[in-house]
């Protein structure tokens, strides 16, 4: 058995394929820590959800014998119970662990499972949140939450000033009902009554019927010829895909701090988004984006039209958005993680476990 070392960290979450690991925030963090000299382990890489629990349990048990510390992703739904199981193993092995909270639905899930959530959060050496939204909503379960944003490699995203005419909308999320992709084509239909617009939709199919519904709706509204479905795009190709657009639209019904919005701002695209969940904590209406009510197609179409006709406003949003995106650069975020890991390893527990 390999001897545990202090600078060895085990990441517990969902990392389906090694080649796609950079798509996941914790996976990207793991790679960057490894480049800084940390020894890194990952579990689980199982793509099948039904077998992931067994893989996480086995991977955590094995990894706990070699790691000095663990970082565990905490989501709502079944993934929360996977985190509970992993943390139980880590406690038995007497290994400190840091929890990282994710997902716009976690606050609602936590209200329904308050005692279990509070118990898990209080058992950790530290708990991090990637957004002020989650930090605010989850503080009732533990007061000393550390706010560390999701990192983005800003060097990959070249800022450019969009030039009129602005005719190309871009949407980048997974095709799932919580992201309301149908709304994007409805916004396009509303706009095409007055001006020629096109829409590029980028993202994987989560197979809940949302992609099919979006295609059908586009056909019914007569805008299918103006919509391009690119499917899932490798992370390395996202900057190029975004650079082809003029305005980024985010139609979510539930959200936290979407990396796709940060990526769009990094590229210099003005953003129009629904004001759900963590979005108002991330974006300021009229300063870094234009915010509209969820599901309100008319409001979003009007906001897009406003950008088309007001170049000064567009330029202001683009400049402010890029400045905001710079605060998420890995050069800013990674040192925060290194300090936290070192503090937990070298210092006393940060919680009454």
pLDDT confidence tier of residue 26, bands split at 50, 70 and 90: low
Q: What is the mean pLDDT of residues 29-56?
A: 86
Looking at the structure, tell me whether residues 26 and 49 fall in a common domain.
Answer: yes
Looking at the structure, tell me whether residues 137 and 200 fall in a common domain.
Answer: no
Report the CATH number at residue 50. 3.40.50.2000
Looking at the structure, tell me whether residues 94 and 105 fall in a common domain.
Answer: yes
Contact present, 203 and 174 (Cβ < 8 Å): yes
Give dist(CA 65, CA 289) in Å, integer. 47
The yes-or-no verdict on residue 3 having pLDDT over 70 is: no
The yes-or-no verdict on residue 190 having pLDDT over 90 is: yes
Looking at the structure, tell me whether residues 230 and 315 fall in a common domain.
Answer: yes
Least trusted range by pLDDT, from 110-114, 191-195, 328-332? 191-195
Looking at the structure, tell me whether residues 74 and 133 fall in a common domain.
Answer: yes
Is 1 contained in some domain?
A: no
pLDDT digits (tens, 9 = 90+) for 280-296: 999 999 999 999 999 99
Is 42 contained in some domain?
A: yes
C-alpha torsion 53→55→60→62, nearest 10: 150
Contact present, 41 and 66 (Cβ < 8 Å): yes
Contact present, 265 and 271 (Cβ < 8 Å): yes
Strands 168-172, 198-202: pairing kind: parallel
Q: What is the mean pLDDT of residues 249-263?
A: 95
Please state, rounded to an integer, the average pLDDT across all residues of the chain.
Answer: 91
Is 184 contained in some domain?
A: yes
Looking at the structure, tell me whether residues 334 and 321 fall in a common domain.
Answer: no
Is 180 contained in some domain?
A: yes
Looking at the structure, tell me whether residues 198 and 303 fall in a common domain.
Answer: yes
The yes-or-no verdict on residue 88 having pLDDT over 70 is: yes
pLDDT at 4: 57
Between 174 and 2, residue with greater pLDDT = 174
The yes-or-no verdict on residue 48 having pLDDT over 90 is: no
The yes-or-no verdict on residue 176 having pLDDT over 80 is: yes
How much is the pTM? 0.88
Q: What is the mean pLDDT of residues 297-325?
A: 97
Is 351 contained in some domain?
A: no
pLDDT at 23: 41
pLDDT digits (tens, 9 = 90+) for 97-151: 999 999 889 999 999 999 999 999 999 999 999 999 999 999 999 999 999 999 9
Least trusted range by pLDDT, from 20-29, 55-64, 198-207, 243-252? 20-29
Looking at the structure, tell me whether residues 74 and 159 fall in a common domain.
Answer: no
pLDDT at 350: 40
Helix (H, G, I), strand (E, B) or coil at 2: coil
- What sections of the chain are H helices per DSSP? 25-35, 49-64, 78-92, 106-112, 114-123, 132-138, 181-191, 210-221, 238-243, 259-267, 279-282, 297-309, 311-326, 330-346
| Residues near 134 by beta carbon (within 8 Å), at least 6 away in sequence | 101, 102, 106, 107, 145, 256, 278
Q: What is the mean pLDDT of residues 341-349?
A: 82
Is 81 contained in some domain?
A: yes
Helix (H, G, I), strand (E, B) or coil at 311: helix
Residue 206: give the domain boundaries.
154-326
Specify the number of domains making up the chain.
2
Is 274 contained in some domain?
A: yes
Looking at the structure, tell me whether residues 105 and 174 fall in a common domain.
Answer: no
Looking at the structure, tell me whether residues 173 and 109 fall in a common domain.
Answer: no
The yes-or-no verdict on residue 46 having pLDDT over 80 is: no
Q: What is the mean pLDDT of residues 310-319?
A: 97
The yes-or-no verdict on residue 267 having pLDDT over 70 is: yes
Looking at the structure, tell me whether residues 146 and 23 fall in a common domain.
Answer: yes
pLDDT confidence tier of residue 348, bands split at 50, 70 and 90: low
Looking at the structure, tell me whether residues 165 and 178 fall in a common domain.
Answer: yes
pLDDT at 235: 87
pLDDT digits (tens, 9 = 90+) for 198-226: 999 999 999 999 999 999 999 999 999 99
pLDDT at 50: 74
Q: What is the mean pLDDT of residues 69-92?
A: 95
pLDDT at 14: 78
Rounded to 5°, the CA angle 57-58-62 comes to: 120
pLDDT at 20: 38
Is 352 contained in some domain?
A: no
Rounded (to 5) percent helix, strand, coil in the chain: 50, 15, 35
């Amino acid at each position: 058995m390999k001897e545990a070392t202090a600078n060895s960290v085990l990441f517990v979450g969902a990392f389906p394929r090694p080649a796609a690991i950079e798509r996941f925030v914790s996976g990207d963090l793991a790679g960057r820590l490894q480049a800084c000299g940390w020894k890194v382990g990952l579990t689980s890489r199982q793509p099948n959800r039904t077998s992931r629990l067994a893989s996480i349990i086995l991977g955590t048990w094995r990894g706990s014998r070699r790691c000095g510390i663990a970082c565990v992703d905490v989501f709502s739904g079944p993934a929360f119970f996977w985190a509970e199981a992993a943390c139980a193993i880590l406690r038995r092995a007497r290994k400190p662990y840091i929890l990282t909270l994710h997902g716009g639905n976690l606050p609602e899930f936590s209200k329904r499972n308050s005692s279990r959530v509070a118990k898990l959060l209080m058992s950790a050496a530290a708990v991090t949140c990637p957004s002020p939204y989650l930090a605010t909503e989850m503080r009732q379960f533990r007061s000393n939450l550390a706010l560390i944003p999701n990192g983005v490699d800003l060097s990959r995203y070249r800022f450019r000033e969009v030039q009129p005419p602005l005719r190309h909308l871009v949407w980048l999320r997974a095709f799932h009902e919580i992201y309301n992709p149908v709304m994007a084509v409805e916004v396009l239909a509303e706009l095409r009554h007055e001006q020629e617009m096109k829409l590029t939709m980028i993202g994987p199919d989560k197979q809940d019927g949302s992609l099919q519904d979006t295609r059908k709706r586009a056909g019914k509204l007569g805008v299918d010829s103006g919509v391009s479905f690119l499917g899932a795009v490798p992370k390395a190709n996202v900057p190029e895909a975004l650079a082809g657009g003029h305005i980024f639209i985010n139609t979510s019904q539930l959200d936290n701090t979407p990396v796709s919005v940060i990526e769009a701002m990094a590229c210099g695209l003005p953003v129009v988004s629904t004001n759900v969940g963590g979005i108002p904590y991330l974006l300021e209406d009229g300063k870094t984006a234009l915010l509209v009510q969820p599901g309100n197609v008319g409001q979003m179409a009007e906001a897009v039209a406003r950008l088309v006709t007001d170049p000064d406003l567009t330029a202001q949003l683009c400049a402010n958005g890029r400045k905001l995106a710079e605060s998420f650069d890995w050069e800013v975020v990674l040192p925060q993680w290194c300090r936290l890991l070192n503090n937990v390893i070298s210092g006393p527990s940060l919680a009454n476990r």
